[in-house]
Amino acid sequence: MNTPTTHSRVNEFCSPELNNSTRLSETALNRLTPETTTRWRVNRIFWIKDAPPNTMLMCHDQRVSRSTEPEHLGFRCWSGDVEVDVKSPITEEAFHAMPFVEQVGFLRTWKPNTSNWDGPVREGLAAIVQAEATVQSVCYFEHSDRLTGLDPLYSTALVRGFSEGLDGKTVSNWNSFWLFATWVLEQPDPDTQIRDDFSGNTQLGRRWQSCRLEIARLVDAILDGKLAPLL
């Protein structure tokens, strides 16, 4: 009786068809080349490659370098074009190019399309406002009374911009900021359902709380001499 040929086992990552007690068919043997085995192992371990020990990962990296096909991209093949960050309706450069009056008008009139989760939202525009208030901190600070009536997100972004941009600057007109701060403190701020434009979810909160905290931090830094001195 002929003794069947014994084949060396494929390592622990071999396919279910090969990792069993049955003998390999001639067709399977013909397909099982070193190149195809390497490619298969690379794809097989992709989904768990962050979990195995370092010794196993070293072997995986070596196989990736020898493979004649690129490493499987997994979910990155469709998620690469999806932006999960919040968007602004205007670029930082375009907003900066506007005159101050037009900037304020844009902040007062622009409204997000609440039905479009992937579109621009107020949080994205607030980031642009904070960047501009940082660069133009003295101008914005000395005309901040003209910024009353804005959405709490934009008002909070303004004060954060002041905190970032006023270091080492000299401010000649403080009355404008005190008028702005007084207006913020006068706004009713009960607990209410706040809607997140990006996710569409709502949660209980206070719309002016963050802005008031930022004003308190800014004034505290000024009194401690860490920002523009009081004149």
189 or 91: which leads in pLDDT: 91
CB 203 within 8 A of CB 194: yes
Angle at 191 between CA 214 and CA 145, to 5 degrees: 40
Give the type of residue at 230: L
What distance in Å separates the CA atoms of residue 118 and residue 114, rounded to the nearest whole number? Answer: 10
Average pLDDT over residues 68-74: 44
What distance in Å separates the CA atoms of residue 92 and residue 136, rounded to the nearest whole number? Answer: 13
Which pLDDT belongs to residue 118?
73
Average pLDDT over residues 199-215: 85
Which pLDDT belongs to residue 130?
96
Q: Find the distance separating the first CA and the last CA of the chain, reported in whole Å.
A: 106
Give the type of residue at 187: Q
Q: Is the pLDDT of residue 47 over 80?
A: no
What distance in Å separates the CA atoms of residue 20 and residue 57, rounded to the nearest whole number? Answer: 25
What distance in Å separates the CA atoms of residue 93 and residue 45, rounded to the nearest whole number? Answer: 45
Torsion of CA 149, 167, 99, 87, to 10 degrees: -70
Which pLDDT belongs to residue 117?
65
Ranking 43-52, 68-77, 105-114, 144-153 by mean pLDDT, the lowest is: 68-77
Average pLDDT over residues 120-124: 89
Which pLDDT belongs to residue 115?
58
Rg (CA), the chain: 30
Q: Is the pLDDT of residue 177 over 90?
A: yes
Residue with tokens 């905290």: 213
31 or 200: which leads in pLDDT: 200
Give the pLDDT band (50/70/90) at residue 73. very low
Running DSSP on this structure, what letter comes out for residue 120?
B
Q: Quick check: helix, strand or coil at residue 129?
A: helix
Selection from 51-55, 137-141, 169-173, 202-206 with the highest mean pLDDT: 137-141
Q: Quick check: helix, strand or coil at residue 205?
A: strand
161 or 65: which leads in pLDDT: 161
Among left, alpha and beta (phi > 0; psi -120 to 50; other), residue 200 is left
* Buried/exposed 97-114: b ≥16 CB within 10 Å, e otherwise: eeeeeebbebbeeeebee
Ranking 28-32, 76-80, 173-177 by mean pLDDT, the lowest is: 76-80
